[in-house]
Structure 1
Amino acid sequence: MPSQISSPSPPVVLSVSIRFRRAKGRCEGCGRPHGREVIHLGDGLWWDEDAGTWRCGQGKRHRRLRPPHSTILPMRRTRVFLSTCHLDHDPQNNAPGNLAALCQRCHLLHDAPEHRRRRAVTVRARRAMGDLFTGPYG
C-alpha cells in the first residue's frame, strides 16, 4: 500500500485560515474589519464603529478626537479588504508564523521598503543595459 504524503495546504485555504480563523476578520496591524467601510482621516487614524472610538495606525485607541458626526475634519471612507502578507517577502515561505492578515494600508506600509529596494535594482539593471547597448543611459 503506498504511503500517503500530505501535500501542503492550497494557497486559498491557507489565506482564508490566516485571515478569518486566526485574525478573526480583522487586520493584524491596525484592527480594521474586513469587508466594512471605515471612516478615516488619511493619516492612519480611523473610526472603529464597533468600539465607538478613533484608532491609530497600530490599532490603539486615540482619545483626543470627537466622533465623526461631531467634527468638521475632512474624512474619507474606504472599504477594507484583508490580504495575506508574507512577512519576509518570500512567497515560497508559507509558514503560519511568516504570514499575516493585513488591510490595504498596512500591507502597503509593510511592503514599501521592499518595493523601494526592488525599484533600485530595476533602475540599476536598466542603466547597465542602456550602457551596454546604446551608450550612457539618458
Structure 2
Amino acid sequence: MPIRPENLHRYPRDWNEISARIRFERAGGRCECTGHCGLTHPGGRCPAVHERIHPDTGAVVGLTTAHLNHTPEDENLLAACQLCHLRIDHGHHRTTRSITLAARAAAAGQPGFLAVPT
C-alpha cells in the first residue's frame, strides 16, 4: 500500500528496510495472515506467495506490510498479500473515507456529514 504524503512523517526513516525484513526474512515471502482478514485459509495460513499467482484472485501477488492496528509509529506488522491487506484495512478505509468526504464538503461550503461506520 502506498504511504499517503501526509503520513510520511509517521514512518521511520528505515521503513523500506523494516518492511523488507518483515516480508522476506520473517515471512519468507509468503502472506502471514492466519485469519486476520476474516477469511479461513486452508492449512491455517494464507497460501499467497510473493510474485506468484494468488490462488484466490488469479493476480500476481505483491507482498505488502500491514499495520494491524493502523498505527505506523509502532511495529505491530504483518506480511500480507493484497487481498488480505485490503480486507484487514477495510473498516479503517471506510472510516477515513467518511472523514475525508466530510472535510471536502466542509471546505467547499457544502453541508456534509461524518458517518462513522459501525
Q: What TM-score range do you get, normalising by the shorter chain?
A: 0.5 to 0.7
TM-score between the two structures when normalised by the length of structure 1 = 0.56
Counterpart-to-counterpart distance in 1, 2:108 and 2:54: 46
Q: Which runs of 5+ in 2 are unaligned?
A: 1-11, 34-45, 113-118
For residues 24 and 125 of structure 1, do their structure 2 counterparts lie closer, same or farther at Cα, with a shift above 3 Å needed? same
TM superposition shift of 1:128: 2.4
**2:26 aligned with 1:22, yes or no?**
yes
For residues 136 and 105 of structure 1, do their structure 2 counterparts lie closer, same or farther at Cα, with a shift above 3 Å needed? closer
TM superposition shift of 1:130: 3.2
The alignment partner of 1:79 has SS state of coil
Indicate the structure with greater strand content. Answer: 1
Indicate the structure with greater helix content. Answer: 2
**What's 1:105 paired with?**
83
Q: Which runs of 5+ in 1 are unaligned?
A: 1-7, 43-76
Counterpart-to-counterpart distance in 2, 1:110 and 1:24: 20
Is 2:22–2:78's contact at 8 Å kept on the other side of the alignment?
yes
For residues 128 and 37 of structure 1, do their structure 2 counterparts lie closer, same or farther at Cα, with a shift above 3 Å needed? same
* Identical-residue share of aligned pairs (%): 43
Counterpart-to-counterpart distance in 2, 1:122 and 1:14: 29
Counterpart-to-counterpart distance in 1, 2:64 and 2:71: 15
**What's 2:107 paired with?**
129
**2:65 aligned with 1:84, yes or no?**
yes
The alignment partner of 1:84 has SS state of strand
Specify the code of the residue in structure 1 equivalent to 2:90. Answer: A
**What's 1:37 paired with?**
53
Moved over 3 A (4+): none
TM superposition shift of 1:116: 0.5
Specify the code of the residue in structure 2 equivalent to 1:34. Answer: H
Is 2:32–2:79's contact at 8 Å kept on the other side of the alignment?
yes
Is 2:31–2:79's contact at 8 Å kept on the other side of the alignment?
yes
**2:97 aligned with 1:116, yes or no?**
no
CA RMSD of aligned residues (A): 2.1
